[in-house]
Structure 1
Amino acid sequence: MKFLEVNSLEVINTALSWETSECILTGRVEAYSCKSAGTDKKLFKTLEQRYNTLAPGSISPDDIQIVSPFGRLTESTPRKTFFYLLATLNAAFPDNDFENVRPDQFIKMPSIEMVMNSVNTTLFNLGNDVVVNQLWDVLDEIVQLNECDVYTYNPDADDDPMNDEDGYLWSVNYFFFNRKLKRMIFFSIKSER
């Protein structure tokens, strides 16, 4: 994944770090181009080997569909989506390795409106309504939000890269993936004491 320098995201990222009387909140929004770098190619090859070797008779297609929000992992397009999400995590958290993350740790969100509403509510309730409108305008310029599939990553507690410090309370993250543009936005907020 290639990190994209987007000047308008710097203002948003600055506004996504603030304190309330109860916690410290840190957010970030990063844009990526889905162009594979050296380590990405190794990850892609590993995933291809892992999911291409599933013998058609060893697991039913319905079982694969159930464990993957991307579709059947025996098919190329769902595997690529899974790969892009893992590669984005690796780029966003370079000190971690997400090669062994399971597909069922991701959830495909039903609609962009639901995600926007959830983020807006979180920001408003935590006293940061300044950034809301600008956030969606900037993201729309980068990835055309209505053309995106949105995913969230729900790691096991031990695998959560945001749960790396004492005082961790919660975190949310979303991946806005525009397949046609081959772009990904990673959005996250974490709360600490």
Structure 2
Amino acid sequence: MKFLEYTPLESLNYFLSNVNLGECTLKGSLEAYSCKHTGPDRKLSLSFEHEILEYLGSSLDSDSSSPTDFLSSRSSRKTLIYLVLTLSHIYPDYDFSVMQAHNFFREEGWDSFKQIFNTYMFEAAKEWAVANGDSPLLESISKSIDEVVNLAECEIYSFNPDFEGDPFLEKGTIWSFNFFFYNRKLKRVISFRCCCLSNLAAEGTLADETFNVDDDGDIFDDMDL
């Protein structure tokens, strides 16, 4: 996988990197990657393939039809591996298991993506409109994605891990979403992730740190050194 720089994404990332909404701050990014393997990716890809095949082998006697039906297709396995490789590039310090990640991916349609976007990004879209006139945020994002990966040909996946398996969560996270737009023909994928952080939680952390420092000072004031 190789990170791809695209001008259409830069202004959006500048806006999404820090949207202060008063009691909370939204942070997001759009990143494009080529699915062509680098040296380390090739080794990791083989490891993921082995993990999947090992799982399929152990599931032969199982009555469950999912997820083995999906993974029995080599094309589907490649898609899953590309998505997890993308995650590994975004979070290089996080050790992803391809089978664990598989449980958290879900294929989405454009309508479901749009519904989630409009629900969570309503306030951010208003901030975007103030700075950019009448151009809707969703329209600007969809045009940029289309320019990079041809949206009409994309498969859309959401990634919704449980709390313990979520590398996206930060202290004070109120909500987060993670989407991937994958074009098989172009062998490119765009990651679009956003999270909303409580400003009160951040202020509380700073207050706690200040309180701890003051406490230490009081303790030392009473000590004979």
Same fold at TM > 0.5: yes
Identity of aligned residues (%): 37
Give the corresponding residue for 1:34. 35
Structure 1 residues 58 and 26, CA, compared in 2 at 3 Å: closer, same or farther?
same
Give the corresponding residue for 2:104. 105
Q: Deviation string for 1:108-165 (max 9, x for gaps)?
A: 11x11321332134222444443332111111111111111111111121121121x3
Structure 1 counterpart SS, 2:71: coil
Give the corresponding residue for 1:24. 25
Kindly indicate whether the alpha-carbon contact (under 8 Å) linking 2:34 and 2:188 is maintained by their aligned counterparts in 1: yes
Structure 1 residues 59 and 83, CA, compared in 2 at 3 Å: closer, same or farther?
farther
Structure 2 counterpart SS, 1:35: coil
Give the corresponding residue for 1:44. 45
Q: Do structure 1's residue 180 and structure 2's residue 185 form an aligned pair?
A: yes
Q: Which of the pair has more CA radius of gyration?
A: 2
Describe how 1:1-193 pairs up with structure 2 within 5 A.
1-16=1-16, 17-53=18-54, 54-55=56-57, 58-59=60-61, 63=64, 65-67=65-67, 72-100=70-98, 101-109=100-108, 111-126=109-124, 127-130=126-129, 131-163=137-169, 165-193=170-198
- In structure 2, stretches of 5+ residues that fail to align are 130-136, 199-225
Equivalent residue letter for 2:106: I
Structure 1 residues 183 and 57, CA, compared in 2 at 3 Å: closer, same or farther?
closer
Alpha-carbon offset, residue 4 of structure 1: 0.3
- In structure 1, stretches of 5+ residues that fail to align are none
Alpha-carbon offset, residue 59 of structure 1: 4.0
Equivalent residue letter for 2:114: M
Kindly indicate whether the alpha-carbon contact (under 8 Å) linking 1:43 and 1:99 is maintained by their aligned counterparts in 2: no
Structure 1 residues 57 and 124, CA, compared in 2 at 3 Å: closer, same or farther?
closer
Structure 2 counterpart SS, 1:162: coil
Structure 1 counterpart SS, 2:189: strand
Alpha-carbon offset, residue 48 of structure 1: 1.6
Q: TM-score, normalised by structure 2?
A: 0.76
Structure 1 residues 58 and 136, CA, compared in 2 at 3 Å: closer, same or farther?
same
Kindly indicate whether the alpha-carbon contact (under 8 Å) linking 1:51 and 1:74 is maintained by their aligned counterparts in 2: no
Q: Distance in 2 between matches of 1:185 and 1:169?
A: 24
Aligned residues: 187
Alpha-carbon offset, residue 85 of structure 1: 0.7
Structure 1 residues 121 and 169, CA, compared in 2 at 3 Å: closer, same or farther?
closer
Give the structure with the higher percent helix.
2
Over aligned residues, Cα RMSD in angstroms? 2.1
Equivalent residue letter for 2:25: I
Q: Deviation string for 1:5-56 (max 9, x for gaps)?
A: 1112110001112011220110100011111122221221112212224338
Equivalent residue letter for 1:74: S
Kindly indicate whether the alpha-carbon contact (under 8 Å) linking 2:4 and 2:31 is maintained by their aligned counterparts in 1: yes
Q: Distance in 1 between matches of 2:19 and 2:57?
A: 50
